[in-house]
Amino acid sequence: MPPTSSALNMTTIASLCALIALSALFVTLLRKPVHAAMALLGHSLALAALYLSLSADLLAAAQVLIYSGAIVVLFIFVVALLPAEGREENLSLRKFLTAGAVAALLGGTLAIVVRPNLGLGLAATVPTTVDVGHSLFRELFLPFELTAPLLLCAIVGAVALWRRQER
């Protein structure tokens, strides 16, 4: 059961956050795509648990269903379909250093973005699933409806990509 009060269990959140960051690190570092995909699965499940402990129930359910259930499984399927398990071959030190530099640059920028917000506290009210539903069908109605054409385009695009190859 998620906590219904606005008080949050700091230990739970801290350990889940550590788990999330660690699995993200594994996704980045593990060489075999299959292993990276498994790490992504763990990452997504830990995120779902975090959402649950933040009492975002609907989002947690969606995370499990859509992310862990559909997207990550799709990843694993495709990794299995690609030749030679898609093992990476050449990874130079230079490339590694480049990535580190880029990460430092981006992290620094994001730190500037985030820093003024670090002191923010919690609001007294916790949005319930009913509230989320209301917001989806009121102020977010247009974007919500636009997801329909978006998904349709994605499906048509996927089919078209596959068909082109068959000819």
Binding residues for another protein restricted to 130-149, rule: CB under 8 A: 131-132, 134-136, 139-140, 143-144, 147
Surface-to-core class of residue 56, CB atoms within 10 Å of its CB (0-12 exposed, 13-18 middle, 19+ buried): buried
Least Å from the CB of residue 1 to another protein? 18
CB of 30 to another protein, least distance (A): 9
85 in the Ramachandran plot: left (φ > 0), alpha (ψ -120 to 50) or beta? left
In the complex, minimum distance from the CB of residue 55 to another protein, in angstroms, rounded to a whole number: 8
Smallest CA-to-CA distance from 43 within 84, 75, 11 is with 75
- 93 binding another protein? (CB under 8 A): no
Cα of first residue to Cα of last residue in the chain, in angstroms, is 53
Instruction: Check binding of 98 to another protein (CB under 8 A).
Output: yes
Residue 62 contacts another protein per CB under 8 A? yes
What is the distance between the alpha carbons of residues 130 and 112, in angstroms, rounded to a whole number?
35
24 binds another protein (CB under 8 A): yes
Q: How many residues bind another protein (CB under 8 A)?
A: 93
User: Is there binding between residue 80 and another protein (CB under 8 A)?
Assistant: no
DSSP-assigned letter for residue 139: T
